[in-house]
Structure 1
Amino acid sequence: MARERTAATPDSQSTVGETPSGEATPLLGNEVTDEYIVSWDEHEDPEHPYSWPRWRTLSNCLLISGMTFLTALASAIIAPGVPQLMAEFQSQNLQLAAFVVSVYILGFAAGPLVTAPMSEIYGRVVVYHVCNVGFTIGVIGCALAPSIEALVVFRFISGTFGSCPATIGGGSIADMVPQERRASVMAGYTVGALFAPILGPILGGFLTDALGWRSNFWLLAIAGAFLTIMMMIMLRETYHPYLLERKTARLRKETGNKLLRSKLDAGLTPSEYFLRNIIRPVKMLTRSPVIIIMSLFIAITYGYMYLMFTSFAQLFKQYYGFSTKMLGVAFLGLGVGSFIGVAIFSATSDKTAKRLAAEADARADALGTEKQGMKPEYRLPPLPFAVLCMAFGLLVYGWTAYYQMHWIVPILGTTFIGIGQLVLFLCIQMYLIDTFTVYAASAIASFTVVRSVAGAVLPLCGLQLYDTFGIGWGNTLLAAVCLPLVFVAVLMMRQRLLRQDIPVAKTTIPIPKAHAYSIAEYSPVGTAFLIMDYS
């Protein structure tokens, strides 16, 4: 870790900027010298999240993963209960029925644009607490909804607040876990985000059949209240710039030296910093080739997943005569596939990345060039396999259901879809976290917006797609859309231009020296890429 550099008290200041009378003048922006910069201690700094006791890191990761699981569970738990609630509210509108499920995902699209930048201004913890309370209130509103319009509104509210752990959870884990150990931890965190929407309809089918559709929301409310209280008691701040600023403030008070500044301080006023952090996810989404391409991958994956959620009920009733209770079985293939995908990624990602880094360093030694260490591209080798696996699963699911083979066969096809979705999602999330590091929450927020819009919109036209083409040709069309992504994945693995080779000459934003240095330290991407596009 970087060495802590602090100035002594004002009585022993060096001659950096003095008035004719000999008094020290305030030093701002690029004028601040190293002795006024506060960084982490050279040796294990107890305030740095990497130095926390294992139990504290584990408890933070488990709580964040638990809330991520719960908010993802809420997205689809109501799916089997939609026919019952539509009957209660006396509506036969199929688009409205699908919207009751997908409007929650629209909230997932709206929330990240605020929660991610707010977490980079005020720290992660306060954002978690506010959003946890908002989510719990939202699902209580769903449980008490007197009309379908009220249900849609409260679903959107709960989705907006519920997007928080899925948006900044990856950033929190990056704050606590070093890059070389991050893949397995991230896999455990992400499995909740992807497996919960699959478990949700299974659980929701049994709850709806036994206690009615409102019981789904009461279960979410009870679990949400419990996790909210536990996180208020145990969760600790992890965001490095916030922690270092807090350390700097303490040292200013202890030494009386008002010139001390955090190494990660951007040198901006609060209003400038707020504006920059609020617009960063939008700038990433519109100006970063990496975010744009990765958002395309995740939009297709997430859209397909929620198309499965909203179509399973009708298709398995139509083709196999499943009851409400049995509908949960239709989601088992996606669930089993997700667990297999996690196992594949956890077993291979860190090992593959370290092997590729070692091979690259060996070539650098042979050529006498500088070693580059681990690069984000080393997370991408499983990506083509994931895309092909998903396309294969769509074909198996579609055509075996079309020919009405035994119901277990299309469910086995969805297992391959689950494997592909999970591996693809993990590859992309790890790639973005390793690329953007200190701005990981904003990067994840950017592609979360796109995936959520796709997850909300595609199911609305999915049933019409199947009505027009049939489940066989409909799924063939969906699989064909996946195939070009294989070539894009190979390009992403081989081309660093999209990530690193952006000319600094285009930069027009003045960045204080201390901030530029901190970005270079925290990101393997390099200063130029982050300064030009997002700071």
Structure 2
Amino acid sequence: MNSALSPSGDTTDHEAPYSVWWDEPADQDPENPQNWSNGRKWGIITTLSVITFLTPLASAMFAPGIPEVMREFNTSNDMLATFVVSVFVLGFAFGPLLLAPLSELYGRTIIYHVCNVFFIIFLAGCAWANSMGMLIAFRFLSGFAGVAAVTCGSGSIADLMPPERRGGAMAIWSLGPLLGPVVGPVSAGFLVEAEGWRWVFWVIMIMSGTVTLVSFVVLRETYPPVLLERKAARLRKATGSDRYQSRLKPEGSRTECILKAIVRPARMFILSPIVMSMCIYIAILYGLLYVLFTTFTFVYQDIYNFSARGAGLSFISSGIGNLLGLATMGIFSDRIIRSRIAKGKEYVPEDRLSLYLTVPSALLLPLGLIMYGWTVENRVHWIAPMIGTGLVGFGMIGIVMSVQTYLIDSFPLHAASVTAANTVLRSLLGALLPLSGLEIYNKLGFGWGNTLFGILAFLLAPVLWVFSITGQRLRTNPKWQHDF
């Protein structure tokens, strides 16, 4: 029975016929997600991209309504005003610690569906909030539930796409998280002015409800261990033999598997120098980016005399940089992989950190930060700081895409957990660093403040290049290989 054979087809071991794998040849088994039609694959990826668009949208779209919230709840605490926005990102930090491990135990699709429903419920709680405390609580919970697709989406792509097509798929999926923070402030300025801050949550809730209904139709389970376990269960039922077991079934009891899954993101961060270094690097960059975002309203309203609507439009420049960087990475990342394969060379994940991809991004990011700071400091025409934030957006997405695809290619079976480790740390800094970031600008000014941030980003850039050279040796060194 081919369906029960291991990939090698070796049946000398008496247990081999009961080791459930894909039907041979594995690259033609219709149950294997990598063999599904392009229509089904891209339908799943597009749906996930829309979901991941709505979650950051809920985070950023609320920002222009803060002055109205402060007036309604009769408070003038600036730190509280910042926290009610960033607490959503704090939910992003804690959600992956639970959702990623659960997705690797019970499958990705059930996590998407449950979290989508709770996301809608918590958005309604935000819209009905009658106190600042209630609003903060539901903002945190909506971030916690909404992060599911952000955390597990990369894992779904690893399930569906071979490495030579993964970069382009990651680019499409990344459109959501990139466009959300840009579209949110632009559209919210008009919505808040016309209907009030509560309608921000009603609008997102309506859109989320629509996408959730679509997801029930489009999304399919993609995680191989879950699919193979279902296949093994069918064989056990059909034959009456309990000896059929998935080759990817985790060892240990159910309780042991759950505990191991829950601590997996933390173990990967602590035990793998690759994961730790990449996560810290991205977290620092995200913290700097969120500090930068908190200045936009003050800069364009107070210095350049933009209206509230105009200040919201200032986010477009960063979005344009993101889109250009995304297109560049999506095209050239996979092209490098295909070129190596065509030449008969072995593909390695470190190819995602190619100097051709990472050097421009790593240099443009600090350049954009410094340009933004000094053009604002010297009151140069408003187009100049927008060009600076465009460069930041281009450099940021180039680095994030390279690192994220590198980590997924390095740990494909635990892509959700390694993404969770990355998401947790960057979300913590993204939520907490802006609370003190404005104090740095108050003391140093925009010019020297952003110069400090730019130098920091520049000094961290060699991390990418070091791992592009040494990463393979670290991954294959027995000292750093662990059973995650």
TM-score range, shorter chain: over 0.9
**Separation in structure 1 between the aligned mates of residue 218 and residue 361 of structure 2, nearest angstrom:** 37
Aligned length: 475
Compared CA separation, residues 191 and 297, structure 1 to 2 (3 A): farther
One-letter identity of the residue aligned with 2:481: F
Amino acid at match of 2:20: V
Q: Larger Cα Rg: Structure 1 or Structure 2?
A: 1
Give the letter for the 2:4 counterpart.
R
Aligned to 2:176: 192
1:124 maps to which of 108, 112, 131: 108
The reply on whether 1:450 has 2:418 as its aligned counterpart is: no
Q: Deviations over 1:369-397 (max 9, x none)?
A: xxxx2111000122232121110001111
Q: Deviations over 1:352-382 (max 9, x none)?
A: 22334556x55xxxxxxxxxx2111000122
* Aligned partner letter, 2:91: G
Residue correspondence of structure 1 range 288-307 to structure 2 within 5 A: 288-307=272-291
Cα shift at 1:458: 1.0
The Cα shift of 1:437 comes to 0.2
Q: TM-score, normalised by structure 1?
A: 0.86
TM alignment of 1:347-366, pairs within 5 A:
347-356=331-340, 361=344
- 2:90 is equivalent to residue 106 of structure 1: yes
Instruction: Tell me which stretches of 4 or more aligned residues in structure 1 moved more than 4 Å.
Output: 356-359
Instruction: Determine the C-alpha separation between the residues in 1 that align with 2:277 and 2:212.
Output: 35
Which residue of structure 1 aligns with residue 117 of structure 2?
133
What are structure 2's unaligned runs of at least 5 residues? none
- TM-superposed deviation, 1:195: 2.3
Q: Is the 8 A contact 1:357 1:375 kept in 2?
A: no
The sequence identity of aligned pairs, in percent, is 42
**Alignment match, 1:408:** 383
Give the alignment partner of residue 463 of structure 2, picking from 488, 513, 518.
488
Determine the structure 2 residue equivalent to 1:60: 44
Contact kept, 8 Å, 2:349 with 2:409, in 1: the verdict is yes
Distance 1:258 1:216, change over 3 A: same
Alignment-derived partner of residue 70 in structure 1 = 54
Which secondary structure does the structure 2 equivalent of 1:316 belong to?
helix
Deviations 1:102-140 (CA, angstroms, capped at 9, x unpaired):
000000000000000000001111111111111111111
Match of 1:424 in 2: 399
Would you say the 8 A contact 1:75–1:197 is kept in 2?
Answer: yes
The CA distance in 1 between the partners of 2:389 and 2:12, in whole Å, is 69
- Confirm or deny that 1:237 pairs with 2:221: yes
Partners in 2 of 1:105 and 1:257 — Cα distance? Answer: 48
Residues 488 and 87 (structure 1), Cα distance of their counterparts in 2 relative to 1, 3 Å cut: same
Task: Measure, in 2, the Cα distance between the counterparts of 1:380 and 1:199.
Answer: 29
How far apart, in 2, do the equivalents of 1:383 and 1:247 lie? 42
In 2, Cα distance between equivalents of 1:498 and 1:315: 47
Matched, 1:328 2:312: yes
Contact (CA 8 Å) 1:356, 1:378: kept in 2 or not?
A: no
Superposed displacement of residue 72, structure 1: 1.4
SS at match of 1:395: helix
Deviation at 1:15, TM superposition (A): 10
Shift of 1:502: 2.7
Q: What is the CA–CA distance in structure 1 between the aligned matches of 2:326 and 2:191, rounded to whole Å?
A: 27
1:40 and 2:22 matched: yes
Whether 1:85 and 2:37 are equivalent positions in the alignment is no
1:173-184 equivalent positions in 2, closer than 5 A: 173-184=157-168
2: CA distance, partners of 1:6 / 1:497 = 31
Q: Offset at 1:497?
A: 5.6
Supply the AA of the counterpart residue of 2:408: I
Question: CA deviation digits over 1:254-280, x for unaligned, max 9?
Answer: 122221111111232111111111110
1:158 aligns with 2:142: yes
Unpaired segments ≥5 residues, structure 1: 8-13, 17-31, 363-372, 505-527
Q: CA deviation at 1:76?
A: 0.9
- TM-score normalised by L of structure 2: 0.95
Alignment RMSD? 1.7
Report the Cα distance in structure 1 between the residues aligned to 2:154 and 2:12, rounded to whole angstroms: 44
Distance 1:111 1:176 in 2: 24
Partner of 1:268: 252
Q: Once the two structures are superposed, what CA deviation does each residue of 1:78-120 show, in whole Å capped at 9, x if it has no partner?
A: 1111112112212111111111110000000000000000000
- For 1:378 and 1:6, the matched residues in 2 are separated by 33
CA contact (8 A) 2:45 2:172 kept: no
Q: 1:58 to 1:463 in 2, by over 3 A?
A: same
